[in-house]
């Protein structure tokens, strides 16, 4: 009788450990934010994100993250993204970050976070520094309401 009770207790402990560990989301390997002066992003302000601390056998999802004030007045924000490998290979593209849904939210939050996946399942096979750089490409020379710009690189499961 006592041994059956002990087995049940051990089973509950093992189940709790499995659920606790199994439900843990992947943490970003790289997570960096650049705070913008005066909560405004100028067209001539390019923001760089560099890292050499990546596992060459791992696949990563890369997200561009904007922290925005509630009163930002754009429907979407075009952003130029440049990527450089350690061997100096460059790629560039433009992504449009949707912002129209931010005005639909209400509440006491002063800052919203908008995330956009810019790379999915990418591998970094070379040793050395990888760099992403971003620049706002709107028709306005200054975009007010952008508090921080960030980049996260999360290992894929």
Q: Using one digit for the tens of pLDDT, what is the confidence trace for 70-87? A: 878 888 999 999 999 999
pLDDT of residue 104: 46
- Alpha carbon distance 56, 58 (integer Å): 6
- Alpha carbon distance 138, 79 (integer Å): 8
Could you read off the pLDDT of 36-73 as tens digits, one per residue? Answer: 999 999 999 999 999 998 999 999 999 999 999 887 88
Could you read off the pLDDT of 10-20 as tens digits, one per residue? Answer: 555 655 555 45
Percent residues over pLDDT 70 in the chain = 78
Sheet arrangement for strand 76-84: 47-51, 130-136, 76-84, 90-98
Q: In terms of pLDDT, which residue wins out, 87 or 26? A: 87
Q: In terms of pLDDT, which residue wins out, 21 or 75? A: 75
- Alpha carbon distance 102, 66 (integer Å): 12
Fold annotation for 26-155: Jelly Rolls (2.60.120)
């Amino acid at each position: 009788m006592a041994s059956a009770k002990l087995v049940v207790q051990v089973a509950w402990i093992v189940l709790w450990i499995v659920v606790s560990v199994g439900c843990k989301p992947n943490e970003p390997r790289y997570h960096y934010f650049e705070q913008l002066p005066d909560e405004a992003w100028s067209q001539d302000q390019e923001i760089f994100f560099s890292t050499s601390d990546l596992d060459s056998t791992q696949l990563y999802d890369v997200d561009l993250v904007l922290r925005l004030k509630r009163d930002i007045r754009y429907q979407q924000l075009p952003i130029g993204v440049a990527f450089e490998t350690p061997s100096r290979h460059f790629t560039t593209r433009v992504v449009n970050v949707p912002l129209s849904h931010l005005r639909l939210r209400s509440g006491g939050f002063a800052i919203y976070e908008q995330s956009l996946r810019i790379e999915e399942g990418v591998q970094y096979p070379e040793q050395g520094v990888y760099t992403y750089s971003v620049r706002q490409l709107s028709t306005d020379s200054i975009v007010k309401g952008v508090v921080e710009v960030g980049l996260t690189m999360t290992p894929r499961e």
